[in-house]
Amino acid sequence: MTDQKVAVITGASKGIGRACAKLFLDKGYIVVDASRSNPHPFDSENFIHIKTDVSQEESIKNLYEEVKNRFGRTDVLINNAGYGIFKKLAETTTEDFDNIYAVNVRGLYICTRYFIKMMLEQNSGTIINIASLAGKNGFNEGTLYCGTKHAVMGISKSLMLEVRGSNIRVIVVCPGSVDTEFFDVADVEVNNDPKTFLTSEDIASACLLAVELPPNALMNEIELRPANPHK
Residue environment code for 176-203, b if the CB has 16+ CB neighbours within 10 A, otherwise e: bbbbbeebbbbbeebeeeeebbbbbbbb
pLDDT 10s digits, 106-146: 999 999 999 999 999 999 999 999 999 989 998 889 999 99
Sequence-ordered list of residues with C-beta below 8 angstroms from that of 57, at least 6 positions apart, any chain: 110
- Chain length of the chain: 231
Q: 65 burial class (0-12, 13-18, 19+ CB within 10 angstroms)?
A: exposed
Set out the domains of the chain in order of their start, with CATH numbers: 6-224 (3.40.50.720)
| pLDDT > 70? residue 189 | no
Q: Output 21 or 176, whichever has higher pLDDT.
A: 21
**E-state strands within 19-58:** 30-35, 47-51
| pLDDT > 70? residue 25 | yes
Stretch 206-229: mean pLDDT, rounded?
Answer: 91
Q: What is the pLDDT of residue 171?
A: 98
What is the rounded CA–CA span in Å between residue 91 and residue 70? 46
Q: pTM of the full predicted structure?
A: 0.92
| pLDDT > 50? residue 86 | yes
What is the rounded CA–CA span in Å between residue 194 and residue 190? 10
109 an active-site residue? no
SS3 of 205, please? helix
| pLDDT > 90? residue 230 | no
Which whole-number Å values give the CA distances from 135 to 35, 138, 174, in the listed order?
23, 8, 7
Q: Output 164 or 42, whichever has higher pLDDT.
A: 164
Per-chain mean pLDDT for the chain: 91
Q: Which of 29, 64, 114, 145 is catalytic?
A: 145
Q: What is the pLDDT of residue 192?
A: 58
